[in-house]
A and B are shown apart, each in its own frame.
Chain A
């Protein structure tokens, strides 16, 4: 089973990299581009075949290492 884990900065946490990307998009002529936020996508291949067990494991991975919950939120999906 594969897990796709998305890590994003929490609302209210300034994202200077997102701002810089937004500025460059604007300078390239993309108008009406607002609130660009940058995050991470992490792919994990799991031996686990049972869905609930996989969810629990990925949840723990996020809490223990993959996300810093002081500044980041995470979400994930499991692909069979």
Chain B
């Protein structure tokens, strides 16, 4: 049994997509948790979905990061429950300070909605362990504010600590300016915390997780959840589920 929760904010719009993907891959029902709740039920993983929480007012993810449910999400994340933030969910993770940096308006000023290529640089995370290191995958992005920014010191630190999970690249894996869809510093598309249990990414893996959607490159994100929970069981108990 895999207990996954998806947090739903007013304005979330990928919450049901990610629920469908999780249920299809894990075979277990997913619990949707409204942002006004005080507590997330005991979970093996928590997902912060894409969308436009609170209408992107003030800054993307700023209000959501301070909504009632988030203090428990932060508490559980710090206790080791794996948390995945996709697109707006990534913005929320940065606004809570669980991950470093910020996401700014795309350098082109355009909303960019298209498939892009990603290089999987870190596969020792709760959500990418089923990819091969440096595997090139195709996943869609759909955002206006995905331009990853951090100061040089922070960028050097997260690169040094191997916290860059995904970088934008071309189909041959070249990480180049031409392959950068939004102006992100060092082509960063996704990062994690030191332990690899908290992952934030701009691309939408739930939008390419089965053939009917046009591709399956996003599926291994959810398969990684299954492998992670299974191996935690083998090791005896679910330490990450009991904060």
Contacts and interface: CB of A to CB of B under 8 A. Distances in A.
Interface of A: 12-14, 16-17, 20, 64-66, 68, 70-71
Contacts of A66: 58
Given A14-B104, A71-B149, 14 more contacts: A12-B151, A13-B149, A14-B149, A16-B147, A16-B183, A20-B109, A65-B58, A65-B66, A70-B94, A70-B100, A70-B102, A70-B149, A70-B150, A71-B104
Contacts of A17: 105, 109
B151 to A, nearest CB: 8
Nearest to A65: B66
A16 B105 contact: yes
Contacts of B150: 70
B79 interface: no
8 contacts: A13-B104, A14-B107, A14-B183, A16-B108, A20-B109, A70-B101, A70-B149, A70-B151
A12 B170 CA distance: 28
A29 B169 CA distance: 39
B95 interface: yes
Main DSSP-derived SS at the B contact region: loop
Contact of A68 (B102, B106, B107, B147): B102
A9 to B, nearest CB: 8
B147 to A, nearest CB: 8
A68 B105 contact: no
Contacts of B62: 65, 68
Chain B CB within 10 Å, residue with most, of A12, A13, A14: A14
Contacts of B94: 70
B16 interface: no
A70 B66 CA distance: 17
Given A16-B107, A17-B109, A68 B95 contact: yes
A16 B183 CA distance: 10
Contact of B59 (A13, A14, A64, A68): A68
A16 B106 contact: yes
Interface string B135-171: 0000000000001011100000000000000000000
Contacts of B108: 16
A70 B151 CA distance: 8
Interface string B89-125: 0000011000011101111110000000000000000
A7 to B, nearest CB: 9
Nearest to B97: A70
B9 to A, nearest CB: 16
Contacts of B149: 13-14, 70-71
Contacts of A13: 104, 149
A71 B149 CA distance: 8
A70 B100 CA distance: 9
